[in-house]
Amino acid sequence: MSEYDQIQKSSLKLKGAGELSAGKKKKKKSKESKHRLEQVVTSQNDDEEVKTKKTYIDKRTPAQIAFDKMQEKRQMERILKKASKTHKHRVEDFNRHLDNLTEHYDIPKVSWTK
């Protein structure tokens, strides 16, 4: 007996390919049953949210809490510092900074005559 004796020799049959596979048809669910399922799911989610809100406990250490407070404080300081200057003032400060730099950073002029 050969290894290939048990191979299927007919053509390949695909599911849902036209008239050939007119077997089972899908049943359509009614809108009412979908609506009921949605209500059940939303009511369960609401119950879970209420339970999770009541049982939330802050598990951070005092050092972590202090660290978070300092982070927020520094972030607020940065925001206030940036908000205190207008765009015009920032551009003027930047131009002053560029004027104070040495000429070493300037791009040398190139001419055709040299």
Task: Tell me whether residue 54 is in a domain.
Answer: no
Task: Tell me whether residue 109 is in a domain.
Answer: no
What tens digit of pLDDT does each residue of 34-86 get? 777 787 777 777 666 655 556 778 899 999 999 999 999 999 999 998 888 88
* 27-36 average pLDDT score: 72
Whether residue 56 contacts residue 50, with contact meaning beta carbons closer than 8 Å, is answered with no
Task: Tell me whether residue 18 is in a domain.
Answer: no
**Distance of alpha carbon 83 from alpha carbon 81, whole angstroms:** 5
Task: Tell me whether residue 35 is in a domain.
Answer: yes
The number of folded domains in the chain is 1
Q: What mean pLDDT, rounded, does the chain reach? A: 79
Task: Tell me whether residue 104 is in a domain.
Answer: no
What is the Rg, in whole angstroms, of the alpha carbon atoms belonging to the chain? 37
Task: Tell me whether residue 10 is in a domain.
Answer: no
Query: The domain containing residue 74 runs over which residues?
Result: 25-49+62-99
pLDDT exceeds 60 at position 31: yes
pLDDT of 51: 58
